[in-house]
Amino acid sequence: MPDERLRLQEFGFQRLADGRCRAKIILTWSDGRRFEGSSDGVSSQTGELRCCAMAAVNALEQAVQPRLTFELLGVKAVRAFDATVVIVSLSARAEATTRLVGSCLTETDPPRGAALAVLNATNRLLGNYLATR
């Protein structure tokens, strides 16, 4: 059985001259399907994390629409055990609402870590969902 989960194929992040930022993410499924998400935000530590997490959420929603939706409830980078951990909280809605939490350990790229934390939170749920489509 192939590895049944979405993979981060491309991650792009830019800080713009006008004090904003932009993220673009491409996810792939094992059968070759590609899902693209993007987001714009405010260029600050919190704004950049939120922008990248939202781009990941938007790509995920491309993969599962219209039967499953996500809401980004929060994203935060914290120092723990001499490392930076990006943590996200999501709500997933289908027939019922499920609360998801994901994390990613990162030292050099917290914005990318925010996108990976979204995948960490959702991969088990999405693996089951996409495998049955």
Task: Please tell me the least confidently modeled range out of 13-27, 75-89, 116-130.
Answer: 116-130
Instruction: Measure the CA–CA gap between 77 and 88, rounded to whole angstroms.
Output: 9
At residue 50 the predicted structure's pLDDT band, cuts being 50, 70 and 90, is very high
The predicted model gives 101-107 an average pLDDT of 93
Give the per-residue pLDDT at 99. Answer: 94
- Answering whether pTM is above 0.85, one says yes
Strands (E), 1-133: 7-15, 20-28, 34-42, 69-80, 83-93, 97-106
More confident: 126 or 80: 80
